[in-house]
Structure 1
Amino acid sequence: MSHTNDHRQDALIKRLNRIEGQIKGIKKMVLDEKETAEIMIQLNASRAALQKISQILLEAQADHSLMHVNEGKDLEKEMSTLRRVITQYNKLN
């Protein structure tokens, strides 16, 4: 794995760790019977964070597919993979 990919992976893991912390905080808010509006704010923040990760991954897949095609890999295979990722991205968002 290249340094760039390692760096990207580290950044994604940091984001996921923050989301994990947010979710634990939301769980505590529910157990502590906090106001629903406060819980919803935190749920929306967590959802936005997940959406950002999905956007980063989609962009990385697009870059990856374009580089593969540029290197002579099968265009149809790369397009199929990218379409699957886009479909999943659209379901999340």
Structure 2
Amino acid sequence: MSHLPDHQVDALVKRINRIEGQIGGIKKMIIAEKPYDEIIIQLNSTRSAMQNISKLLLEAQADHSLLNVADGGSLDKEMEKLQKVIKQYNRMN
């Protein structure tokens, strides 16, 4: 991910850390036998947070591909990379 500026990497790591906290909270809820609807709410929140990270990475790949092509990179190669990321993104959503 060297194509992401450091501040973007830091922001993504912070998001991942929050998700880890959410997962830990969900685990505690299950152990404490909290109501299933409350657990599912937290699971949905975590899934949404993960989808947002996925979206940011898809956007970063698109930006990266466009910049590479503008700098003389291979359009075919960059399209292949972008299509691969889009396929993975669609599998998550």
Would you say how many aligned residue pairs link Structure 1 and Structure 2? Answer: 92
Cα separation, 1, equivalents of 2:79 and 2:60: 14
Equivalent residues in 2 for 1:9-24 (5 A)?
Answer: 9-24=9-24
Deviation digits for residues 68-90 of structure 1, max 9, x if unmatched?
Answer: 00000000000000000000000
Letter of the aligned partner of 1:26 in structure 2?
I
When the two structures are superposed, what TM-score results if normalisation uses the length of structure 1?
0.96
Q: CA RMSD in A?
A: 1.2
Structure 2 residue ranges without an equivalent (≥5):
none
Cα separation, 2, equivalents of 1:88 and 1:21: 25
Runs of 4+ in 1 over 2 A off after TM superposition: none
Partner of 1:63: 63
When the two structures are superposed, what TM-score results if normalisation uses the length of structure 2?
0.96
> Percent identity, aligned pairs only?
60
Please state how far the C-alpha of 1:57 moved relative to its aligned partner. Answer: 0.2
Deviation digits for residues 9-52 of structure 1, max 9, x if unmatched?
Answer: 00000000000000000000000000000000000000000000
Partner of 1:44: 44
Residues 1:32 and 2:22 are matched in the alignment: no
